[in-house]
Amino acid sequence: MIVGIVGGGQLARMMHAASIGLGVRVKLLAEGPEVSAAQVVHDVVVGDYTDPATVTEFAADVDVLTFDHEHVPTSILTDLEGRGVVVRPGPAALVHAQDKAVMRERLASHGAHVPVNEVVATPEALGAFGDRVGWPIIAKTSRGGYDGKGVWKINGPEHCQVPFEGLRDGIRIVAEEYVDFVRELSALVVRGATGEAVAYPVSESVQTDGICVETTTPAPGLTRDQTETCQRLALDIAAELGVVGVLAVELMEHRDGHVIVNELAMRPHNTGHWTIDGAVTSQFENHLRAVLDLPLGDPRPRARWTVMRNILGGARDDLVGGLGGLHDPALRVQLYGKTVVSGRKVGHVTAYGDDLDDVRNRARRGAASFTGEDL
Ligand SMILES: Nc1ncnc2c1ncn2[C@@H]1O[C@H](COP(=O)(O)OP(=O)(O)O)[C@@H](O)[C@H]1O
Ligand SMILES: [Mg+2]
Other Cβ atoms less than 10 A from the Cβ of 255: the count is 8
Give the Cα-Cα-Cα angle 62, 68, 42 (nearest 5 degrees). Answer: 55
Ligand nearest to the CA of residue 145, numbered in listed order = 1
* Contact between 250 and 266 (Cβ < 8 Å): no
pLDDT in tens, 328-342: 999 999 999 999 999
C-alpha 140 to ligand 1 mean position (Å): 8
How far apart are alpha carbons 49 and 71 in whole angstroms? Answer: 8
Whether pLDDT at 363 is above 80:
yes
**Mean of pLDDT values over 275-298:** 98
C-alpha 12 to ligand 1 mean position (Å): 24
Q: What percent of the chain has pLDDT over 70?
A: 100
C-alpha 250 to ligand 2 mean position (Å): 7
How far apart are alpha carbons 31 and 35 in whole angstroms? Answer: 7
Nearest CA to ligand 1 atom 26: 210
Give 111's pLDDT tier (boundaries 50, 70, 90): confident
pLDDT in tens, 63-102: 999 999 999 999 999 999 999 999 999 999 999 999 999 9
C-alpha 147 to ligand 2 mean position (Å): 7
Nearest CA to ligand 1 atom 13: 210
User: Ligand 1 pocket: which of 69, 211, 262 to mutate (most atoms <8 Å of CB)?
Assistant: 262
Using a 6 Å cutoff on CB, does residue 146 contact ligand 1?
Answer: yes
Give 171's pLDDT tier (boundaries 50, 70, 90): very high
Nearest CA to ligand 1 atom 21: 146
Give 373's pLDDT tier (boundaries 50, 70, 90): confident
Give 40's pLDDT tier (boundaries 50, 70, 90): very high
CA distance readout (Å), 257 to 179, 203, 226, 230, 232: 13, 15, 8, 11, 16
How far apart are alpha carbons 334 and 348 in whole angstroms? Answer: 5
C-alpha 150 to ligand 2 mean position (Å): 10
C-alpha 151 to ligand 1 mean position (Å): 7
Provide the pLDDT for residue 375. 75
Provide the pLDDT for residue 110. 87
C-alpha 327 to ligand 1 mean position (Å): 35
- Which atom of ligand 1 is nearest to 212's Cα? 25
How far apart are alpha carbons 72 and 57 in whole angstroms? Answer: 14
- Which atom of ligand 1 is nearest to 176's Cα? 1
Helix (H) or strand (E) holding 306: strand 305-312
Using a 6 Å cutoff on CB, does residue 148 contact ligand 1?
Answer: yes
Mean pLDDT of the chain: 97
Using a 6 Å cutoff on CB, does residue 263 contact ligand 1?
Answer: yes
Strands 2-6 and 64-67, by their bridges, are parallel
Q: What percent of the chain has pLDDT over 90?
A: 94
Q: Which of the residue ranges 168-172, 224-228, 242-246, 270-274 would you say has the lowest mean pLDDT? A: 168-172
How far apart are alpha carbons 200 and 217 in whole angstroms? Answer: 9
**Mean of pLDDT values over 238-265:** 97
Whether pLDDT at 374 is above 90:
no
How far apart are alpha carbons 372 and 314 in whole angstroms? Answer: 7
How far apart are alpha carbons 334 and 13 in whole angstroms? Answer: 10
pLDDT in tens, 182-239: 999 999 999 999 999 999 999 999 999 999 999 999 999 999 999 999 999 999 999 9
